[in-house]
Amino acid sequence: MMPAWDEGAFCAPLTELLVALGYRVHIYDTLSLAIDCENLAAAAIVWDAVLRTRHPRIDLAVGQAYGGALVQYLLATALADCPRVIGLSAPTYTDSNLLAGLRALLHELETGSARSALRALDWWVHAANLPMPETTEPIVAPPATAQRLRAGLSHLCTNDARQQVTGFNGSFLWLYGEASRLVRGTNIIPALNRSGQRAIGIPSCGMRPLADARHLTLNLINQFLE
């Protein structure tokens, strides 16, 4: 739910690792085709068509936050035969606690401004046990900020990919922050009795594992891909 697409710069450490491991990496802005969709299920239909056309074979899929939720919906379609999937702060199911946070952000967006919503989002994604960094930089909200946030937050309010995860036969690694104010361990629901599906909490980490605990996050991913 970035206010503007950064061309994948947010996941540069992960991209570098994957390239070093021999993967050919394609990075997508999942909201780019989902803004006009009613929910994640509808967004998954759109992205299913795109992925089937562009990538007949996918060896690894990675999704973070909203993108990670979307990836789980795609487990029943375009990613059904993908052998490995990674979710970073990627909720399988939105429970009452996550829903409350999403609604608080939507309320700020509707009653305040795009800039105040971005300020609130920064607080929600920051690790709860760490102080907010001091900054004097003004918050800039690109023109599409409100539209992007509204779509992403609204879609996550009704997120439930438990059925898709249960039917997935590949390996899935979820990494989430133990100090997250939004996506917590209760929102990640691996299939029962599937040794290939595992959720790992990262200490002192919020919604951005690659930023909050880069080395540990990359080490866990590297071990998963060995």
Query: DSSP string of 159-204?
Result: -B-HHHHHT--SEEEEEEETT-SSS-GGG--PPTT-TTEEEEEETT
Residue 225 lies in a domain: no
Number of domains composing the chain? 1
Residue 209 lies in a domain: yes
91 and 64 Cβ atoms separated by less than 8 Å: no
User: Confidence class of residue 98 from pLDDT cuts 50, 70 and 90?
Assistant: very high
For residue 138, pLDDT over 80 is answered with no
Q: Which residues form the domain of 213? A: 1-219
8-state DSSP, 173:
E
User: Confidence class of residue 84 from pLDDT cuts 50, 70 and 90?
Assistant: very high
User: Confidence class of residue 147 from pLDDT cuts 50, 70 and 90?
Assistant: very high
CB atoms within 10 A of CB 113: 15
User: Confidence class of residue 2 from pLDDT cuts 50, 70 and 90?
Assistant: confident
d(CA 130, CA 148): 27
What pLDDT, in 10s, does the model give residues 171-224?
Answer: 999 999 999 999 999 999 999 988 999 999 999 999 999 999 999 999 999 999
d(CA 84, CA 99): 28
What mean pLDDT is predicted for residues 131-141?
Answer: 78
d(CA 212, CA 25): 23
d(CA 225, CA 32): 28
Residue 224 lies in a domain: no
For residue 136, pLDDT over 70 is answered with no
Residue 12 lies in a domain: yes
State pTM to two decimals: 0.95
User: Where does the chain show beta strands of DSSP type E?
Assistant: 60-64, 84-88, 171-177, 197-202
User: Confidence class of residue 27 from pLDDT cuts 50, 70 and 90?
Assistant: very high
What mean pLDDT is predicted for residues 66-91?
Answer: 98
Residue 149 lies in a domain: yes
Among residues 88, 79, 48, which one has the least CA distance to residue 165? 79
Which helix (H) or strand (E) segment holds residue 70: the answer is: helix 66-73
Mean pLDDT of the chain: 95
What mean pLDDT is predicted for residues 44-49?
Answer: 98
* CATH number for position 135: 3.40.50.1820
For residue 4, pLDDT over 90 is answered with no
Residue 226 lies in a domain: no
d(CA 115, CA 16): 32
What mean pLDDT is predicted for residues 140-168?
Answer: 95
